[in-house]
């Protein structure tokens, strides 16, 4: 049943987007679109992207501590961050921008790209600033822009602000009592 609904939706999308009239459930492009939707669902699965965030924070404790200081100061410790707090949390926003920037290493815009440095985005929203905010391009452009952009960005922000507010993420300690630095490796995949 799910498969029939998926294929029906894919057929509607193909007709609206490309004007292709689908005649059969086994249409090759419908099957392709179905696989694309599965990939998108997987990318949007709760936890699929924020899972990268824990090793990032463990490796960059100073960024975590600065964001925690900001959230404690602005939101307080009696409640958790909400969307209405977003405009009042510039460092937490810059932290999310730096997570997005992990997708680019362009030294023209981001000197020392291997350094995790949310501060590089703090001035980007000032009038006249020429800095390029990663959120302005990681979701693509024009007609092919990510259809899930607002959902993905809002979910990521809420997840990150709440993780920062609630958890003191640090490196694990091995049997010899030494800190274990998580590897900065990405698995091949849609957004990871
Ligand atoms: C951080 C998370 C995400 C990033 C960075 C991202 C990025 C992108 C990019 C760059 C494209 C354009 C690809 C191209 O040029 O063909 C795209 C397309 C798309 N994305 Fe996302 N995406 C994310 C999450 C999501 C989520 C959660 C959904 C669904 C709920 C979604 C749905 C889609 C769809 C349907 C398209 C195809 C749009 C079209 O061609 O009409 N994305 N995404």
pLDDT tens sequence across 88-146: 999 999 999 999 998 788 898 899 999 999 999 997 766 777 778 999 999 999 998 99
Q: Phi and psi dihedrals of 18, rounded to 5?
A: -115, 0
Distance, CA 151 to ligand 1 centroid (Å)? 10
Rounding to the nearest 10 degrees, give the CA dihedral for residues 157, 163, 164, 166. Answer: 140
**What is the whole-number distance in angstroms between the Cα of residue 139 and the centre of ligand 1?**
6
Q: Which residues of 98-129 are buried (b: 16+ CB within 10 A; e: fewer)?
A: bbbbbeeeeeeebeeeeebbbebbbebeeeee
DSSP conformation letters of 149-185: HHHHHHHHHHHHHHHHHH-----EE-TTS-EEPPP--
Give the pLDDT confidence score for residue 12 in this predicted structure. 76
**Tokens coding 102:** 């992990």
pTM value is 0.76
Q: Of all protein residues, whose CA lies closest to atom 28 belonging to ligand 1?
A: 148
72-76, 112-116, 176-180: range with highest mean pLDDT: 72-76
Would you place residue 192 in the very low, low, confident or very high pLDDT band (cuts 50, 70, 90)?
A: very low
pLDDT given at position 19: 78
Query: Rounded mean pLDDT of 169-174?
Result: 90
CB within 6 Å of ligand 1 — which residues? 40, 43-44, 49, 138-140, 144, 146-148, 151-152, 156, 191
**CA distances (Å), origin 42, targets 1, 67, 122, 179:** 20, 29, 31, 32
Q: What is the average pLDDT across 31-47?
A: 62
- The average confidence (pLDDT) of the chain is 83
Could you tell me the distance, in angstroms and rounded to a whole number, from the CA of residue 146 to the centre of ligand 1? Answer: 3
Identify which of 118, 61, 66 has the alpha carbon closest to the alpha carbon of residue 93. Answer: 118
119 to 17, 75, 94: CA distances (angstroms): 40, 20, 7
Geometric angle at alpha carbon 83, from 77 and 86, rounded to 5°: 80
Mean pLDDT of 142-165: 92
The pLDDT assigned to 96 comes to 95
Mean pLDDT, range 145-160, rounded to an integer: 91
Higher-confidence residue of 75 and 36: namely 75
Residue located nearest, by CA, to atom 31 of ligand 1:
148
Cα 173 to averaged position of ligand 1 atoms, centre (Å): 37
Q: 3-class DSSP state for residue 48?
A: coil
* Best residue among 6, 44, 45, 148 to mutate for probing ligand 1, ranked by most atoms within 8 Å of CB: 148
Distance of CA 142 from the midpoint of ligand 1 (Å): 12
Q: How far is the CA of 55 from the centre of ligand 1 (A)?
A: 24
pLDDT of residue 137: 92
Q: What is the pLDDT of residue 2?
A: 59
Q: What percent of the chain has pLDDT over 90?
A: 46
The number of the ligand 1 atom at minimal distance from the alpha carbon of 140 is 10
Q: Name which of 122, 60, 116, 50 is nearest 91 in CA terms.
A: 122
């Amino acid at each position: 049943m799910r498969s029939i609904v998926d294929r029906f939706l894919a057929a509607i999308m193909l007709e609206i987007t490309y004007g292709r009239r689908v005649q059969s459930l086994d249409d090759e492009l419908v099957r392709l679109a179905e696989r694309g939707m599965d990939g998108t669902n997987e990318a949007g699965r709760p936890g699929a992207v924020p899972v990268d965030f824990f090793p990032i924070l463990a490796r960059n404790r100073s960024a975590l501590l600065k964001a925690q200081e900001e959230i404690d100061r602005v939101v307080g410790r009696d409640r958790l961050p909400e969307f209405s707090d977003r405009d009042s949390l510039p460092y937490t926003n810059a932290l999310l921008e730096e997570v997005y920037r992990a997708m680019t290493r362009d030294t023209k815009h981001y000197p020392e790209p291997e350094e995790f440095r949310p501060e590089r985005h703090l001035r980007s929203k000032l009038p006249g600033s020429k800095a390029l905010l990663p959120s302005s391009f990681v979701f693509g452009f024009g007609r092919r822009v990510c259809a899930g952009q607002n959902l993905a960005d809002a979910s990521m922000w809420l997840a990150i602000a709440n993780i920062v507010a609630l958890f003191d993420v640090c490196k694990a300690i091995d049997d010899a009592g030494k800190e274990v630095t998580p590897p900065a490796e990405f698995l091949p995949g849609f957004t990871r």
